[in-house]
Structure 1
Amino acid sequence: MTDARTLGDTSLRRCPVTHDDSSWTVWGNEEARLVANDPETFSSHVSKHLNVPNGMDGDEHRRFRTVIERYLSDDVIVPLYPGFEELATEIYASMGDSFNANDFGRLVAVRCQSQWLKWPASYENELLEWITENQAATRSGDKRRTKAVAEAFTDIVRRIVTTHEDDESPTAKLRHDTVEENGEQRPLAKEEIVSILRNWTSGDLGSIAYSIGIVAHFLATHHQIAADLRRYDEQGNTDALDRALDEILRIDDPFISNRRKTTKQVTIAGQEIPAGEKVVIHWTAANRDPRAVGYPDAYNPEGNAAHNLVYGSGPHVCPGRTLSTLELRAALVALLRGGNLVLTGEAPREENPVGGFASVPVRRTATNH
C-alpha cells in the first residue's frame, strides 16, 4: 500500500486520466475541473442512498442547495468565529507541551461543529470515538465495516434530531424548514434532514481533524513561513492566513476524492469514456499537478490560488468553505500563538484511501523575538 499523495503524484506522471477494472480516475487539474464543471455529463447521482445535496443533479440539486446555503452563508457563519477561536485556544492550552496534533484536530473539529449546530456536549466522546472508527474502517477497505460505521453515524444524527429542543440552532431550524417542489414549498422530510446533517458533519469531522494535523506538521517543518504567518496574525491579516491555509492544504490535500457517473460517452485527455461509467476525481493529485502549479511542494499562496481545488469546483463546490476555513483558522492561530512547533518523531502518512498523517507528534517551544 502507499499513501494517497504519492499514489496521486505517481499516477499523474503516467497519465491525467486512467482506467482500471471498475472505474476511471481523473488525476489532472484541468481534467478534474472539466469533470466537476460538467454535471450534465458527469452525474453526482452515484449512490442508491439519499445524499442531500451531494448526490443530486440539476434542478433537484439547485433546490436543496438553496436550503443548505441558508445555513452556510457568510452572514450566518462569520459571527461564529470568535467562539471557534476561543474553543481552539482552550483546547490547545490543555494539550501539554508535547502532543499529537491529530488529537488536537479531532477536538477542535468536534467542538466547533457542536458549537455551530448546538449539539449537546454529552455527544462529544461518542463523536470522537466515531471519527477514530470511521478512519479505521476507511483504512481497512472493508465495505461491510464502512457501511456499519456510516449507519452508526446516521443513528447518532437521528437521535439528536429527535431530541433536539434548541429552537435557535441549525439542527432545530431544519426540522421546520422547507424546500421548493413543483413551484411550492413543502416541509423537509426527516430523512432529508438526517442526510443534510450527515453531509455537514460526518465527512467534515475527519477531514478537519486531518487538515489541522497537516497544518501543524507544516508549521513544524517550515519555521520561516510559520514566523510570517505569526506576523500576519499579529497584524490581524486574516485574508493572508486563509490564503495560507488554502495553499498548505493544496500541497497536502486530505479531501481525496469524489465520485461521478457518465451520462454519455465523453473524451477526456484522449481517453474515451463510455456512458454509465464510474469516474473518480482525485482532488489530492489534481492539486499537485505540475502543469498547473509548477513544483507541487512549493509554497505559493497567491500564484497557485487560481488552480486550487481543495474545496472542489462547479455546482458542487463545497458550500461549507467558510465554515471549514474559520475552524481551520481558529486552530492555526492557536498553534501560532502557542509558540514554535517541532516534530518529536516520525509523522507516518495514512495509507490510501485515507489522506493526511496517521499521527503528528509535536512539541511547542518558545518563539524567538
Structure 2
Amino acid sequence: MPPTGCPYALDDRHLRDPHAGFAGLRAGGAVHLAVAPDGAPVHLVTGYHEVRAAAADPRLALDRRHARTAGGAGDSLPPELDGHLLNRDGADHARLRRLVAEALGPRRILALGDRIRLTADRLLDPLAGRGGADLVADLAMPLAMTVICDLLGVPAARRTDFRAWTDTLLSPDPGAPGRSREAMRAMHAFLAGLVAEKGDAPGDDLLSDLIAAHRERAALGGSELVAMAFLLLFAGYHNSAGLISGTLYALLTHPAQLAAARSGRLDPDRLTDEVLRWNPPAMLAVRRFTTGPVALAGTTVPPGERVWLSWAAANRDPDVFSRPELFDPDRDGPGHLAFGRGPHFCVGAALARLENRIAVAAVLRRFPRLELAEPAGSPPWMRSLRSRALTRLPVRF
C-alpha cells in the first residue's frame, strides 16, 4: 500500500507480484489513484462489485475522444489500428461486434474443434521422445498462433513475424521505445496488405467474411477492417496462449487437481473458469474514460479521466471469494470477470475455452508422468502490466 493520499505506482515492483499489489490496494478500498508506467495518472478499480458494475456502465466510454488529454497510459494506437470494437461505444460498437459475432458464430467455432486437435497432436508428436519440453514455446504459443491465423487466413510464412511484433507490444523494452513503434508500423503494413490480398482473392476464413460484409452491406470501413484484423489476431493469440500455459501450470503445481483432471473427475469447464479467476491472462480491462463526473465506490472521478478495471484484482476479492488466493476448481460462488461483462464481454470467449480444453486434454493424455522440470516457486511471468502469461514452462515426461 502507498502512503495515504499518494498514487500507487504500477512499476517494476508491482509487476514482480501484481496479486500482492492488488491485495494491498483492496485492503484500503475499491478505487485508487495510480500512476501508469509512462507516468500518466489512472483511476484503478479493484473491488469485485465495483469492477462488475463499471464494466457495464455507459458513463465509462471506450472511445478515447472522451479523454481529457491525448495519449498516455498506453492508449495511443495509430489511427489506422484504432478503429476496432474495443475503442467504440453504443451503436457504433454494436455494429462492429455484430459483424464479428456473425463471422465467429457457433458453427465456425464447432468446426474448428477437429483442426485444433490435429494441430495440438502435430505439435506434441515430436516431443514424445525428448523426455521434456517447454510447454509455452512447444505448445501454447504455436497452437494459439496457428488457430487464430488459420481462422483469419494469415499465410504460414508470416506468422513468426506476427508473433515477434505481438511480444514486443505486450512487453515493451523501456530502454528502446522505438521498437514498439517499429513493431506497430510493421504490423499495420502487413495487415493492410493482407486485407488487400483477401479482397482480390477471398478464402474460407473470417477476414474474408468481414471483407464480404464490407462490400455487400457497407457494414464497416476499410480502415476498420485492418483495425479489426489487428484486434482479433493480437487478443486471440496471446490471451489463448496464456490461458493454456496458465492452466497447465496450475495443474502441475496442484497435484490433487492434476489427478482429478487425469481421471475425468474434474470438469474441464470448471477448471478453465477457476484458472481465469485465479490467474487471468488479461490482468486489466481496456481503459475507459469518464464522460462526466462518475461516482465509483464513494470516489467521484471527474470527466475525461482514465479508469482501469482490474479483472485480476476483482477475481481475488476476499469479500466475494473465500480464500481467493487458493486454486480450487470445485469452489462455488459468483462467476469470474476475466471475459468482461455487459456489451464488451469477450467475443472470442468460446474459442478460448475450446482451445484450452483440447490442449490440456491432449497433454494429459499423451504424458501420464508429466511434472515440472524446475521448482515452482518463481515461475517466469512476462513483464507486462496487462498480460499474465508465462514466458516458459519447462516440464519432464
**What TM-score, normalized to structure 1?**
0.88
Q: Which residue of 2 aligns with 1:250?
A: 277
Return closer, same or farther for 1:15/1:342 CA change in 2, 3 Å cut-off: same
Matched letter for residue 101 of structure 1? L
1:141, distance to aligned residue in structure 2 (A)? 8.5
Name the stretch that deviates more: 292-301 or 251-260: 292-301
Contact 1:67 1:179 in 2 (8 A): no
1:356, distance to aligned residue in structure 2 (A)? 2.8
* Structure 2 gap ranges (5+): 1-11, 36-40, 65-74
Matched letter for residue 249 of structure 1? L
Counterpart check, 1:162 vs 2:223: no
Q: Which residue of 2 aligns with 1:18?
A: 32
Aligned length: 353
Contact 2:247 2:360 in 1 (8 A): yes
1:229, distance to aligned residue in structure 2 (A)? 1.7
Return closer, same or farther for 1:158/1:304 CA change in 2, 3 Å cut-off: farther
Q: Which has the higher contact order (CA 8 A, sep 6+)?
A: 1
- Within a 5 Å distance, the mapping from 1:97-136 to structure 2 comes to 97-103=131-137, 104-136=139-171
Name the stretch that deviates more: 326-335 or 146-155: 146-155
Q: Which residue of 2 aligns with 1:367?
A: none
CA distance in structure 2 between the aligned counterparts of 1:20 and 1:125, rounded to whole angstroms: 36
1:254 alignment partner, SS class:
coil
1:83, distance to aligned residue in structure 2 (A)? 1.0
1:14 alignment partner, SS class:
coil
CA distance in structure 1 between the aligned counterparts of 2:187 and 2:328, rounded to whole angstroms: 38
Matched letter for residue 356 of structure 2? L
Contact 1:3 1:349 in 2 (8 A): no
Q: Which residue of 2 aligns with 1:358?
A: 391
* Structure 1 gap ranges (5+): 365-369
- Within a 5 Å distance, the mapping from 1:254-293 to structure 2 comes to 254-257=281-284, 258-293=286-321
2:85 alignment partner, SS class:
coil
CA distance in structure 2 between the aligned counterparts of 1:326 and 1:109, rounded to whole angstroms: 11
CA distance in structure 2 between the aligned counterparts of 1:163 and 1:319, rounded to whole angstroms: 25
1:75, distance to aligned residue in structure 2 (A)? 2.3
State the Cα deviation string for residues 53-108 of structure 1 (Å, max 9, x = none): 11111111111111111012222212211111111122122344322222121111
State the Cα deviation string for residues 142-199 of structure 1 (Å, max 9, x = none): 665434323322222222222233432212222121499xxxx425322111111111
State the Cα deviation string for residues 193-236 of structure 1 (Å, max 9, x = none): 11111111112212222222211211211222122222339xxx
Matched letter for residue 363 of structure 1? R
Contact 1:101 1:212 in 2 (8 A): no
Counterpart check, 1:7 vs 2:34: no
Contact 1:212 1:331 in 2 (8 A): yes
% of aligned pairs identical?
25
Aligned partner (choices 210, 213, 236) of residue 242 of structure 2: 210
Return closer, same or farther for 1:120/1:314 CA change in 2, 3 Å cut-off: same
**What TM-score, normalized to structure 2?**
0.82
